[in-house]
Amino acid sequence: MHRILPRSLPSGLEPLNDLALDLRWTWNHAVDALWRQVDGELWDFTHNPWVVLQNASQAQLDQLERDEAFLERLKTAVDQRRHYLETPGMLAGHSSGDMPNGIAYFSMEFGLSEALPLYAGGLGVLAGDYLKTASDLGVPLIGVGLLYREGYFRQTIDSAGNQQEAFPSNDPTSLPIQPSVGPDGAWLELALPLPGRTLRLRVWQADVGRTRLYLLDSNHVLNGAVDRGITAKLYAGGSEMRLLQEVVLGIGGWCLVDALGLPVEVCHLNEGHAAFAVLERARRCMHRRNVTFQEAWWETRAGNVFTTHTPVPAGFDAFAPSLIRKYAQDLLNDCQLSLRDFLALGRIDPADEDEPFNMTYLALRGCAQTSAVSKLHGQVSRKLFAPLYPRWPFDEVPVRHVTNGVHVPSWDSAPADELWTQTCGKRRWLGDVGCLEASIAACDDIVLWDLAGRQRRDLVQYARDRLAMQLGLRGETPASIAMARRVLDPNVLTVGLARRFTEYKRMNLLLHDPQRLIDILADAKRPVQLIIAGKAHPADEEGKQQVRAWVEFTQRPDVQGRAVFLEDYDLALAQRLVQGVDVWLNTPRRPWEACGTSGMKTLVNGGLNVSTLDGWWAEAYDAACGWAIDGHGGNPEDADCLYRLLQDEIAPCFYERNDHGVPQRWVERMRASMSRLTPAFSSNRMLLEYVDGFYRPALRALTKRNPGELVAWSDAMSSHWHEVRLGDVDVTLDDAHWRFHAQAYLGGLNVEWVKVELYAEERDGFPRQSIPMSQGDAISGAIGGYMFKASLPATRPASDYTVRLRPWHQDAFLPAELPLVTWQR
């Protein structure tokens, strides 16, 4: 392979390049020792093998080339990698039938490792875990994202407790990525038309085991200064810059898919930022097949999948119509679309000239299938999007859900990895994980309690070292740095509290009554200790104030080192925390946490969750596995509930020891939580649900549909729908059955193209029902008038049922692709 190497290695060490550039090292810790041997200091500081390789001294490399033991180790690592890459994944070989040959996964953020900091929070971490899982399972997926010159900011705290932000620049030569090479052997470049100019994009690639992530970069010498800055920063700049980023991600991203020549059938939008991809996909299809835009839109939409992540409308990206007009001109001309029709794709009310263009609405309209990220978030989303599906019941708004999961091998501790390997084998996370529950459930009490102890000790040690370094950088006195080495206690119940300091997460809930918290921490018999971490957005004054409040709290003399604030929450710190805490605390305001994933990361390590019943915990919670903060939503009530849980239930459970010194009730919870919840909230389960519930149906529809026929069908619906109405409905009771007869007048519509149904809501213990009615005789004298009838057991009142009429086509996703419906008056 042609590769532009920043450094040439002694020939015996060449294979180190491929190892360093395959981000599989982020979850395969068998090779850590190798990097430590190349340069221990660089490795410990950066955990970035590529940096280790670029910066190790030449003398050291020359010496390693002659070190037989090292070369032997290297060979083993190379063999193991080859074995991983060559062993077909669980889903490889299934590519016949309805398994897509290619899926492009678009995301504004990817959190694969702190060595490639292209993420701000949960959305990115999820995307990173998704790529790793695709590699493990052999799902033919590529990632498409942006290469930011500055990732999210790095946090330090000054001596007054204020958050300070630093924006170190990502030097591409120190990132574990490579220029992507085009078919002609040169660096792959794309050109996008922008008003008055051409934007050039360079393409980079990151290898993630079997999966590849492509990153677009506008920092090209032929771009103007402003354009070079489009991919400068993650989530920074005004609305226009954000729009440009989304143009690059969506339009540029789909151009890239085309340029790569890969057989991509499914386009998956991880959040609405990349929604322009569906337009570019349709535009290219239009030219390739020489059809109208409408036909291309219907053809390609079957292959588009959207995952929404936001439970509040304020979280959706929306742009002023004037901005859209400025940047959409080229697309409009090319597709022969009017500006009004284009804007309508991103509006609830196409007639409202002032309504901004909403990327989430575009994604909903441009993707045949949509998912939310937890069961509760599914319900919330169906309500939120109901205006796009007028007169459809909330429950039928076409948004399903796949609850997020985490890539378990990225989050397990070394001792937990050992334990799971002993009980469930080495290949446990490479396939279906449903069968793992029994093995870990059989684990011995002492084994589990030892695991908790070892992990807690490691975390306490890590927190002390990190705190000492932090205080040193802050310029604290030698005495207080020395004190840092004595904070926390490896035998005390350890609670972790780490996430973005954003209002709905209520990071200050535990500080509601500081004295009460101190009483809990300093309890003589049952002490508790806290490790806190998290960044506030640079513009979020309230969040920064909460950071300050926590830092000040940890410095109170009466806290006695039982609470510490660790700076610069990132993937690396998150890994350490979820590997060592006994309890992971989460306090979002329901229903603002669409899913939340950090609590899932503790499961494999035996950490227990205590959380409000929001996001994933609303479906995972079970008293046998953890605790629920079930106040009544107000801060004082929830805080009171949390204090009481800590004091009356969690701490007693932890400190109540049997004759072997084991807290039996605690260990039972660990066992239940580890065995039941780890597989259920793993990304293996998540990705398999997407494959079976979304990707396969997408490919089936894509292969089967006749776009010309669907366009004719939907055009007929749109032009004749005003003629459609339901007439009299007649119901009789006969032999314990309801017999319904309904008159339907279809105007100019073909009777095969609609469906008449009896609909009943969920009520009085009866489920939601929609029962197809069969077509009877034509109504004499009426053009397009038919009788429809249905017979059903009279188990629930006839008045529960309403007759409705809807468009029907077996190859369409409905009501997603044509949300019309008429109800009995």
Ligand X SMILES: *Cc1c(COP(=O)(O)O)cnc(C)c1O
Contacts with ligand X, residue ranges (CB under 6 A): 121-122, 125, 499, 569-571, 574, 596-598
Give residues with Cβ within 8 angstroms of 780, minimum separation 6: none
| Per-residue tokens: 714 | 């939907």
User: Are the beta carbons of 321 and 243 closer than 8 angstroms?
Assistant: no
Quick one: which H or E segment has residue 95? none
State in angstroms the smallest separation of the CB of 584 from ligand X.
Answer: 9
Q: Which is nearer to ligand X, 271 or 570 (CB)?
A: 570
CA–CA gap between residue 579 and residue 797 (Å, rounded): 55
CB 637, min distance to ligand X, A: 22
Nearer to ligand X, 125 or 266 (CB): 125
Beta strand pairing status for 400-401 and 369-372? parallel
- Residue with smaller CB distance to ligand X, 103 or 125: 125
The whole-angstrom separation of Cα 109 and Cα 127 is 7
Minimum CB separation of residue 571 from ligand X in Å reads: 5
Closest separation in Å from C-beta 377 to ligand X: 12
Q: What distance in Å separates the CA atoms of residue 423 and residue 437, rounded to the nearest whole number?
A: 10
805 in Cβ contact with 820 (< 8 Å): no
Whole-angstrom CA distances from 321 to 100, 207, 227, 282, 327 are: 36, 39, 21, 22, 10
Q: Closest CB to ligand X among 502 and 714?
A: 502
What count of residues does the chain have?
825
In the complex with ligand X, which residue's Cβ is closer, 120 or 244? 120
Choice between 494 and 598, CB closer to ligand X? 598
Residue type, 93: G
For 308-338, give the DSSP string: ---SSGGGS-EE-HHHHHHHHHHHHHHHT--
| Smallest distance, ligand X to C-beta of residue 62, A | 38
Beta-bridge partners for 824: none
As a whole number of angstroms, the distance between CA 360 and CA 366 comes to: 10
Whichever of 121 and 543 has its CB closer to ligand X, that residue is 121
- Please, what is the minimum distance in Å from the beta carbon of residue 642 to ligand X? 17
CB of 502 to ligand X, least distance (A): 9
Specify the residue, 406 or 493, whose C-beta has the smaller distance to ligand X: 406
Smallest distance from the beta carbon of 120 to ligand X, in angstroms? 8
The burial class, CB within 10 Å (0-12 / 13-18 / 19+), for 724 is buried
Least spacing, CB of residue 496 vs ligand X, in Å: 11
Longest dimension (CA), the chain: 98
Closest CB 825 distance from ligand X, rounded Å: 46
- Measured from the CB atom, is 499 or 669 closer to ligand X? 499
By beta-carbon proximity to ligand X, the closer residue of 223 and 587 is 587
Instruction: Map tokens 């053009």 to a residue.
Output: 783
The CA distances from residue 722 to 153, 201, 717, 726, 824, in Å, are 54, 48, 9, 12, 14
669 Cβ contact partners less than 8 Å away, ≥ 6 residues apart: 608, 624, 625, 626, 653
Closest residue by Cα to residue 671 from 717, 605, 592, 610:
605
